[in-house]
């Protein structure tokens, strides 16, 4: 049936690379990706803020239905991040405490729901990473259809199975599999440069002359120097 299938994931970022990216803020990485990728402002951490990092296992499902999400929980490998595109609809919750507890028991790294969750109090107190667009007490259906390990998109951010998924308090980011090493090198350098800037601020030595230079370059009229 079209739109109702389970595909095989052909590749995934390595556990070593996942651990390296864990040390970098999502904002630094986003800057090094030309600020062109984001999971959308609606997808917020619903848990205690613990970092999210791991290769994507993708699910596309009919809004309000979680049958294929249950199947994905059984297919996922330890360290995987289950990314569910449920159309962004908030009418019915896709997951709750039982499913997140089961996912955590299997070593899954986290769950992203482009849709709603329930049992938000228990999830908020948990260290198991859950990102979602909203909360409702209304439960899901289990009829399908859906696709596991197909391409999904969250607010324009395309995610292929095996891509690296990162999440912190600022939101979600997908690192394409083929670009992960290059992006890590650039983001690591960016983070190191920001650490230097913070040290200069703490020492009262930050040079902000670039601000006036940029304003002059753009043609802004500045007050005459006295």
Question: Which of 148, 146, 125, 121 is closest to 135 using CA atoms?
Answer: 121
Question: Which of 123, 102, 53, 117 is closest to 81 using CA atoms?
Answer: 53
pLDDT per residue as tens digits for the range 69-100: 999 999 999 999 999 999 999 999 999 999 99
204 SS3 class:
coil
> DSSP character for 95?
E
On whether 2 is known to bind a ligand per the annotation, the reply is no
On whether 194 is known to bind a ligand per the annotation, the reply is no
pLDDT for position 37: 82
> How many Cα atoms occupy the beta-carbon half-sphere of 65 within 13 Å?
15
Question: Across-strand partners of 72?
Answer: none
pLDDT for position 217: 92
Give percent helix, percent strand, percent coil of the chain, each to the nearest 5: 30, 25, 45
Q: How far apart are CA 111 and CA 57, in angstroms?
A: 10
Residue 60 binned pLDDT confidence (cut-offs 50, 70, 90)? very high
pLDDT per residue as tens digits for the range 165-222: 999 999 999 999 999 999 999 999 999 999 999 999 999 999 999 999 999 999 998 8
pLDDT for position 226: 67
pLDDT for position 97: 98
On whether 148 is known to bind a ligand per the annotation, the reply is no
Bridge-based pairing of strands 81-85 and 110-117 is: parallel
pLDDT for position 148: 98
The per-residue pLDDT of the chain, averaged, comes to: 95
79 SS3 class:
coil
**pTM score of the predicted model:** 0.92
The residue among 215 and 38 whose pLDDT is bigger is: 215
25 SS3 class:
coil
Q: How far apart are CA 19 and CA 217, in angstroms?
A: 41
On whether 54 is known to bind a ligand per the annotation, the reply is no
In which region does residue 63 sit, left (phi positive, over 0), alpha (psi from -120 to 50) or beta (all else)? beta
- Please say if the pLDDT value at position 12 is more than 70: yes
pLDDT for position 160: 98
The yes or no reply on domain 4-186 and CATH 3.30.70.141 is no
pLDDT for position 40: 83
pLDDT per residue as tens digits for the range 120-168: 999 999 999 999 999 999 999 999 999 999 999 998 899 999 999 999 9
Residue 34 binned pLDDT confidence (cut-offs 50, 70, 90)? confident
């Amino acid at each position: 049936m079209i739109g109702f299938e389970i595909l095989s994931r052909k590749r995934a970022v390595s556990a070593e690379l996942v651990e390296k990216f864990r040390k970098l803020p999502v904002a630094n990485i986003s800057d090094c990706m030309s600020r062109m990728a984001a999971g959308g402002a609606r997808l917020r951490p619903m848990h205690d803020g613990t970092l999210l990092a791991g290769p994507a296992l993708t699910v596309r499902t009919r809004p309000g239905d979680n049958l294929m999400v249950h199947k994905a929980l059984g297919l996922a490998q330890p360290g995987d991040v289950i990314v569910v595109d449920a159309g962004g609809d908030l009418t019915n919750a896709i997951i709750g405490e039982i499913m997140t507890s089961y996912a955590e028991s299997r070593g899954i790294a986290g769950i992203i729901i482009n849709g709603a969750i329930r049992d938000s109090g228990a999830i908020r107190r948990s260290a198991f990473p859950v990102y979602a667009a909203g909360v409702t007490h209304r439960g899901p259906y289990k009829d399908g259809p859906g696709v596991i390990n197909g391409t999904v998109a969250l607010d324009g951010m395309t995610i292929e199975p095996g891509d690296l998924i990162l999440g912190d308090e600022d939101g979600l980011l997908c690192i394409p599999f083929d670009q992960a090493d290059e992006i890590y090198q650039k983001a690591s350098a960016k983070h190191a440069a920001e650490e230097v800037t913070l040290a200069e601020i703490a020492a009262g030595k930050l040079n902000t002359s670039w601000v006036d230079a940029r304003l002059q370059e753009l043609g802004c009229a500045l007050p005459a120097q006295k």
